[in-house]
Amino acid sequence: MADRSAVKDALRAQRIETPSWGYGNSGTRFKVFAQPGVPRDPFEKLADAAQVHAATGVAPKVSLHIPWDRVEDYGALAAHARELGLEIGAINANVFQDDDYTLGSVTHPDPRVRRKALDHLLECVDIMDATGSRDLKLWFSDGTNYPGQDDISGRQQRLSDALSEVYGRLGDDQRILLEYKLFEPAFYTMDVPDWGTAYAHCLRLGPKAAVVVDTGHHAPGTNIEFIVAFLLREGKLGGFDFNSRFYADDDLMVGAADPFQLFRILHEVNGNGGFAPEAGVAFMLDQCHNIEAKIPAIIRSVMNVQEATAKALLVDRSALAAAQNAGDVLGANEVLMDAYATDVRPLLAEVRAETGRDPNPVAAYRAGGWAEKIVAERVGGAQAGWGA
Ligand code: PSV
Ligand code: MN
Ligand code: MN
C-alpha cells in the first residue's frame, strides 16, 4: 500500500502553473463571449491568479503570453507577482496572430518574415531575463494547407535554423519548451505536428530543450501516456499544457472529459520520476473557459489535476511490479484500477485543512466575494489573446 503521509507530502508540494490567458475573455473562431469582471491588464490577471493560489495552495506560478501580456516593465510585473505571493512562469511566444505570418513564421518562405518572427522569440528571452522565467514555450502555428504549397523538408531546415539561434541566446538556467500540435490552423502539414518532430528538434538542440505535451494536440485515441513515459525516460519531457477535449483542441477544463486518461498520464509521470523537482516537468494549464466563469473553472482544473495525482500516487507500486513481473495481467490491472477507484477527495480535504485552507476551494472562492468585487470594479475587461 502507498504511504499515506508521503502521498500527502507530495500533494502539498505539487505545483500547477495557471495561464494568464485563462483569466481573460476567450472563445472560438465563431464568437468570443465576453464576461463581466475579467482582467483589463496583466496585473489584474495576476490578481485573479492569486485567488486560485489562495484557494488551492498549489498554483503560485502564472504563465505569460506575449504580446497578450505586454507591459512597459516586466520587472515591475514580476515584482507585482511576488507581492501577491506568485511568480511568473513560462513565457509563451506568439507568432500566430500577425498578418505577416499567413504562410508561417520561422518557416515562412520570405526571409524578412522569418527574421521578424525570430526577433520576437529573442525578445521573449529578454523578457525571461526580466521576469526570472526558466521556460520559453514555443508553439508554432506554421504549416501548409495544400500539397505542393511549400517544401516540407525545407521548412524543417528553416525551423531548425531559428530554433538554433534562439537556443544560442538562452542563459544557463533557461530552456526552450517546444510544443507540437497535430493540426489547426494549418490543415495539410504542421511544421511541428507530433511528439517525434518536437523530440528530434530538441535532441538536435541540446540539453536545454524539451517537449511540451498539450493534451489536446493529438489525434483521437492517441495513447498520450506512452508519449509521456518515453519522453520522461529520455529526459525530454519539459512539461504539459493540460486541458481536455472531446473532439479536437477544445481547451476544456483538464480532467473534465476523461479523468481516467489524466490518471494514466500522471501514473506514468509518477512511475518515471516526473514529479521530482529535478525532473523539471512544468505542470501547466492551457485552457480557455469560453462559457464558464474563469476563476472557478481554473480552481476546478487545479483540483482535477490534484485528484488524478493523488490517485496516481496511491498506486501500490510494489504490488504492481510483482504482478507485472509475474505476468499477472489481471492482477496488475487490478492494482492500477484499485488506485483509480479510490475517492481521494477526503485525502485532499485533509491536506487543505492541514494547510489552513477550506477543504472545498471552489466553495471558498465563491464565499470570498471576489467575483462580485471584480464585476463592480472592472468595467470593460480586456480581450485575452483571441481578441488582441
Ligand atoms: C495552441 O493551440 C496552444 O495550445 C498553444 O499552447 C498556444 O500558446 C495556446 O494554445 C494559445 O491558447
Ligand atoms: Mn498549448
Ligand atoms: Mn492548444
The pocket of ion ligand 2, defined by CB under 5 A, consists of: 214, 241, 286
CA distance 276 to 310: 15
The number of the ligand nearest the C-alpha atom of 92 reads 1
pLDDT at 182: 98
What is the pTM for the complete model shown? 0.97
Q: pLDDT (tens digit, 0 to 9) for every residue of the chain, 388 residues total?
A: 789 999 999 999 999 999 999 999 999 999 999 999 999 999 999 999 999 999 999 999 999 999 999 999 999 999 999 999 999 999 999 999 999 999 999 999 999 999 999 999 999 999 999 999 999 999 999 999 999 999 999 999 999 999 999 999 999 999 999 999 999 999 999 999 999 999 999 999 999 999 999 999 999 999 999 999 999 999 999 999 999 999 999 999 999 999 999 999 999 999 999 999 999 999 999 999 999 999 999 999 999 999 999 999 999 999 999 999 999 999 999 999 999 999 999 999 999 999 999 999 999 999 999 999 999 999 865 655 554 3
pLDDT at 388: 38
The number of the ligand nearest the C-alpha atom of 288 reads 1
Residue 175, CB-side half-sphere exposure with 13 Å CA sphere: 23
114 Cα–ligand 3 center, Å: 22
Contact 238, 198 (CB under 8 A): no
Residue nearest to atom 3 of ligand 1 (CA): 139
Q: Within a domain: residue 93? A: yes
Q: φ and ψ at 92, to 5 degrees?
A: -95, 125
* Residue 92 Cβ < 6 Å to ligand 1: yes
Please identify, by atom number, the ligand 1 atom nearest to the C-alpha of residue 288: 12
How many structural domains is the chain composed of? 1
What CATH number is attached to the domain comprising 288? 3.20.20.150
Q: Within a domain: residue 197? A: yes
161 Cα–ligand 3 center, Å: 24
Q: Within a domain: residue 122? A: yes
pLDDT at 380: 64
Q: Which of 214, 288, 294, 298 most suits a substitution to test ligand 1, by most atoms within 8 Å of the C-beta?
A: 214
Q: Within a domain: residue 355? A: no
Q: Within a domain: residue 156? A: yes
CA distance 217 to 224: 10
Please name every residue paired with 19 in a beta bridge, in sequence order, or none if there are none. 63
* Residue 249 Cβ < 6 Å to ligand 1: yes
Residue nearest to atom 7 of ligand 1 (CA): 139
pLDDT at 383: 55
Q: Within a domain: residue 9? A: no
368 Cα–ligand 2 center, Å: 31
Q: Within a domain: residue 315? A: no
For the chain, the distance separating the N- and C-terminal CA atoms, rounded to the nearest angstrom, is 51
Is the ipTM of this structure higher than 0.90?
yes
Q: Within a domain: residue 109? A: yes
pLDDT at 374: 98
**Count of C-beta atoms within a 10 Å radius of residue 178:** 26
Domain of 54, in residue numbers: 15-307+368-377
The number of the ligand nearest the C-alpha atom of 26 reads 1
Q: Any residues with CB less than 8 A from the CB of 30 and at least 6 apart, and which?
A: none
**16's grid cell:** 500547477
